[in-house]
């Protein structure tokens, strides 16, 4: 079973950048699809991007495309979420999630393993 740990969140001003990390351990030797989700207070969980470790296919929703980038360093079992031009509406708890499946999906129920989350707060 794989364990996921996120880090890199914090409090930043609008227009700043953050890079979040998702480190996998405890069984991450196969092929995993990894996605990032966020949930703001009082709002539904939202898919913000995904990456296939086997093929390098990327997927982003229109709300973040052009500002957020997902990339990986497989030798370190790490997936990153690079967030640029942050806006106050990006404020949320960000989670990474993983599945052994090879297809990137935007539904949270498609993912089997979840990290603890990291808070991102963007001031006005």
Give pLDDT tens digits for 105-115.
Answer: 999 999 999 99
Given this model, what pLDDT does residue 102 score? 84
Start-to-end CA span in the chain (Å): 40
Grade residue 40 by pLDDT with cuts at 50, 70 and 90.
very high
CA distances from 62 to 6, 28, 46, 90 (A): 23, 30, 12, 13
Average pLDDT, the chain: 92
Contact predicate 98/112, CB 8 Å: yes
Grade residue 28 by pLDDT with cuts at 50, 70 and 90.
low
Q: Say what percent of the chain tops pLDDT 90.
A: 74
Given this model, what pLDDT does residue 10 score? 98
Q: What gap in Å lies between CA 80 and CA 14, rounded to an integer? A: 20
Given this model, what pLDDT does residue 56 score? 74
Given this model, what pLDDT does residue 30 score? 57
Read off φ and ψ for residue 88, nearest 5 degrees. -55, -35
Identify the residue with better confidence: 5 or 31: 5
Looking up tokens 């997936």 gives 79
Segment 15-31 shows an average pLDDT of 84
């Amino acid at each position: 079973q794989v364990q996921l740990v996120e880090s890199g969140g914090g409090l930043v001003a609008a227009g700043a950048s953050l890079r979040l990390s998702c480190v996998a351990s405890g069984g991450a030797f196969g092929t995993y699809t990894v996605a990032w989700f966020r949930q703001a207070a009082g709002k539904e969980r939202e898919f913000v991007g995904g990456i296939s470790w086997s093929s390098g296919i990327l997927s982003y929703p229109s709300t973040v495309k052009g500002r957020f980038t997902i990339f990986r360093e497989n030798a370190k079992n790490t997936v990153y979420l690079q967030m640029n031009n942050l806006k106050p509406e990006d404020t949320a708890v960000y989670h990474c999630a993983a599945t052994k499946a090879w297809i990137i999906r935007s539904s949270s129920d498609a993912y089997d393993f979840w990290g603890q989350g990291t808070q991102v707060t963007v001031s006005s």
